[in-house]
Amino acid sequence: MDRRKVLKGAIAGAATAAAATVAAPAVAASHSKKMKINMVSTWPRDFPGLGTGAQRFAERLTKISGGSMEVKYYAAGERVKAFDSFDEVASGNSQIYHGAEYYWKGKHPGFAYFTSVPFGLTYTEMNAWIRYGGGQELWDKLAGEYGLKGLMCGNTGVQMGGWFRKEMNSAEDFKGLKMRMPGLGGDVLSKLGASPVTLPGGQIYENLVSGAIDATEWVGPWNDKIMKFYEAAKYYYYPGMHEPGAMLSIGMNKKWWDSLTEAQQGMVEAAASTENDVMMSEYNAKNGEALASLLKEHGVKLRAFSDDIYDSFGEAADKVFDDVQKHSPLAKEIHESFIAARTNVGAWAKISDQAYVQQRNRVLGL
């Protein structure tokens, strides 16, 4: 045995052990440093589903990071107004917002596609487009122009068509109607002669009760019951053409996102992806019971939009999409990618989920 090699190896081993001993506290210290994150939102505090989902994300990120990423959550109006969230985060004053991207369509119509558009994608179809159909890449391209990075962080599923004071028998009934409906769905109503209004959730009830608006959509039975829209309008229409799978999201300051380590980005992605699934599960679990309560306890009259009205929605939507594509090359690129996903994923959905549910309900009389 070469004693010099043994001695040399022992010295090297001791040095390595010593270095590890010194480095361990340093690593622990680096993880113990808390990153303070300000998160704003477009939702009222503790509002079921939307608000609580945003709050869950904030709590989950803090928890899975072991407290190294400490999120301070601000509901709408607590730090900035609901619709100021975009600029608050783009400017770097806060790091994250939770909201619906179609609120920013005034900045670029392409943002609407990353919440929902008329005759668009359902929850499962949207997930497929964002994750595997090029949607995330286009979202990154669009949001990046404004210094932002977006991720899916919730979904309400298919939404109801809205609350009305009178029965809607034809497309003519929409003429002159002042209705709360954001996004491209509002543009569809405009093509039919209505006056769409964009209001944050906390302001809808007072405007409906006062008569400032004639009708409104919000989400679905669970949230709508909580908002007590039935006190001012009794006719509840379905299905909503405007939001067949309303995706919610977090928007992050791009420079802040790029400054995160790969592990930190992974924790943000994990927290957002989890909430994307949890929120949808909660809506599916609670909408049915809430609908039954609205019908039995509050005298709500459930109505389906006629085929003629839906055909009019479709014709108006085509005109809206023509306008969107003329906006810019990026808007056209987003639209074409979205439509390709609707065609491809929708073809499978037609003979899988949709076909099964139709037959199941027929056999069971549901």
What digits encode the pLDDT tens for the residues 182-238? Answer: 999 999 999 999 999 999 988 999 999 999 999 999 999 999 999 999 999 999 999
State the sign of the Cα–Cα–Cα–Cα dihedral 120, 123, 125, 128. positive
Query: Given this model, what pLDDT does residue 33 score?
Result: 82
Query: Given this model, what pLDDT does residue 4 score?
Result: 42
Tokens representing residue 346 in the block: 């929708």
Residue 12 has pLDDT above 70, yes or no: no
Residue 159 annotated as binding site: yes
Residue pair 324/335 in contact (Cβ under 8 Å)? The answer is yes
Residue 289 annotated as binding site: no
pLDDT average, residue stretch 151-158: 98
Supply the DSSP symbol for 80.
Answer: S
CB-based burial label for 310 (10 Å; 0-12, 13-18, 19+): middle
Residue spans of beta strands (DSSP E) within the chain: 35-41, 69-74, 96-99, 148-155, 162-164, 178-180, 195-197, 215-216, 235-238, 247-253, 301-304
Q: Where are the domains of the chain?
A: 33-155+245-284
Architecture in CATH of 33-155+245-284: 3-Layer(aba) Sandwich (3.40)
- From residue 12, alpha-carbon distances to 1, 23, 25, 137, 185 in Å are 18, 16, 21, 48, 69
Q: What is the mean pLDDT of the chain?
A: 92
Residue pair 147/280 in contact (Cβ under 8 Å)? The answer is no
Q: Predicted confidence band at 32 (pLDDT cuts at 50, 70, 90)?
A: low
What digits encode the pLDDT tens for the residues 294-328? Answer: 999 999 999 999 999 999 999 999 999 999 999 99
Residue spans of beta strands (DSSP E) within 182-341: 195-197, 215-216, 235-238, 247-253, 301-304
Residue pair 251/150 in contact (Cβ under 8 Å)? The answer is yes
pLDDT average, residue stretch 102-130: 97
Query: Given this model, what pLDDT does residue 24 score?
Result: 36
Residue 243 annotated as binding site: yes
Q: Predicted confidence band at 136 (pLDDT cuts at 50, 70, 90)?
A: very high
Rg of the chain over Cα atoms, rounded to whole angstroms, equals: 25
Residue 217 annotated as binding site: yes
Residue 14 has pLDDT above 60, yes or no: no
Residue 2 has pLDDT above 60, yes or no: no
Residue 325 annotated as binding site: no
